[in-house]
Amino acid sequence: MFNNSLYNRVPIRIGIAKGTLFVNLERSMFAGPALVEAYHVGESCQWLGATFSPSVASDIRALGLTTGSSEVVVSWPVPMKNSVENLVVLNWPAMMAHQLKVEPPFTTESFYQIFEPTFGSFADLPQDVRVKYENTVAFFNAQYSAHVA
């Protein structure tokens, strides 16, 4: 889902949690601690990526998923709004390495180019938004390099 979003030029942050969820399909209402936890872990990250909340992190790591020689789920120091937290995240750069049409490493500006028609030039973005792309590219380049090494 994450890779398809990027391919379609949709920048997203994903938070994944497990726990109690209440659903009322007639009213299209969803609530519960798992939904709140997923929202907080996804939205507080200052990057584009998929982050697993503490409620699901050990379970997802225990699956031992791999792509080539890389783990699909890795620990990463994720920049947050006011801190950096070591969290369990989706290693999407390794998962999409075979689909790339341009050889990394990427600069932030080259990565952002696909979003420019929708959001305007990188230089015109607010500083806090530019930082999200900078953090994303740092993660991408590190994980991609480890994957192809």
- What residue segments make up the domains of the chain, in order of their start? 2-148
pLDDT per residue over 5-23, tens digit each?
988 999 999 999 999 999 9
Pair 49, 78: CB distance under 8 Å: yes
Nearest alpha carbon to residue 55 among 14, 22, 31, 20? 20
pLDDT per residue over 34-74, tens digit each?
999 999 999 999 999 999 999 999 999 999 999 999 999 99
- For 125-132, what is the mean pLDDT? 96
